[in-house]
Amino acid sequence: MIYIDGRIVPKEEAFVSVYDHGLLYGDGIFEGIRIYSGTVFRLKEHIDRLYEGARVVMLQIPLSPEEMEKAVLDTVAASGKENGYIRLVVTRGKGDLGISPATCPKPSVIIIVDDIQLYPKEYYEKGIRVITAAIRRNTVDSLDPRVKSLNYLNNILAKMQAQQAGCLEAVMLDRHGYVTECTGDNIFIVKQGCLITPPVTRGALDGITRRTVIELAETGGIPVREGDIALFDLYTADECFLTGTGAEMIPVTEIDGRTVGDGRPGPVTFRLREMFRKEIA
């Protein structure tokens, strides 16, 4: 079931205008949210992040945060899904040909409730291979990646490089050569028992799952910090894993042909994953 501007309809009846600036120019924002056992995971945090992004790009969402939360919950209820994925999209709306947002009188709100599986199940036990992409991450002084915008071409080009290399993901560096994130996931490494992830000011999304893992690590007594990660640090890490709404937590066991640790998901990764599973149960 799909919510479009106040109506909940089957996906066969869900349409947007070809003049919508989200389609024409990628002018809009979105959130990916999970449903676990009938509960929407950290909905308020996702809604807060959506409205923060809207403020940055001067997009006036036609619903209050409380109304948006209700719209999400109503759409989930209409779908009947106990477990699934929500894609919440706000576009600039229908306008004229031309990039000016002034021609778009009202933003459009779309809420999709469906299923998602980004990685085969076996990779959660044995880990995945990744490469570093030649495509650099958009810089924070042009469009801060903390705005979860509809324009994902930067990520898509890096994803294509990963696929051409026979990998499922690619690490994206900033213009100075520091790790930011992957094409659709945040990244963590473990070095001498300490959990490290790039700061959002390097060009990483302030991921909700990323926040959750940091909180779990702090609660569990695992040292954790945000810090710059160079390729040297990736290549010499004891453990590595990715986090994301769709991916949840998935280990990385090879980076650019270099084995991570002993080639198997490590003890910190496994411990955090078990804590995460309890969190979403």
What CATH number is given to the structural domain containing 196?
3.20.10.10
Active site residues: 148
Nearest to 92, CA basis, from 74, 110, 73? 110
Of 62, 84, 114, at which residue does a domain stop? Answer: 114
What is the per-residue pLDDT for 1? 87
- The reply to whether 257 and 275 lie within a common domain is yes
Domain with 15 in it: 2-114
Which amino acid makes up residue 103? T
Closest of 271, 272, 196 to residue 233, by C-alpha: 196
Torsion of CA 231, 234, 235, 238, to 10 degrees: 160
Q: Indicate whether 111 pLDDT > 90.
A: yes
The predicted pLDDT at position 180 comes to: 98
Would you say the pTM of this structure is higher than 0.75?
A: yes
Average pLDDT over residues 254-264: 97
In whole angstroms, what is the distance from residue 63 CA to residue 65 CA? 6
State the pLDDT confidence band at 281, using cuts at 50, 70 and 90: confident
pLDDT, average across residues 242-256 = 97
* Average per-residue pLDDT for the chain: 96
List the structure tokens of 224: 């954790």
Amino acid making up residue 122? E
- How many structural domains does the chain have? 2
The CATH number that applies at residue 75 is: 3.30.470.10
For the beta carbon of residue 81, count every other beta carbon within 10 angstroms.
17
Sequence-distant (≥ 6) Cβ neighbours of residue 118 within 8 angstroms: 184, 244, 246, 247
Residue-wise pLDDT tens digits, 30-80: 999 999 999 999 999 999 999 999 999 999 999 999 999 999 999 999 999
Name residue, tokens 């071409």: 153
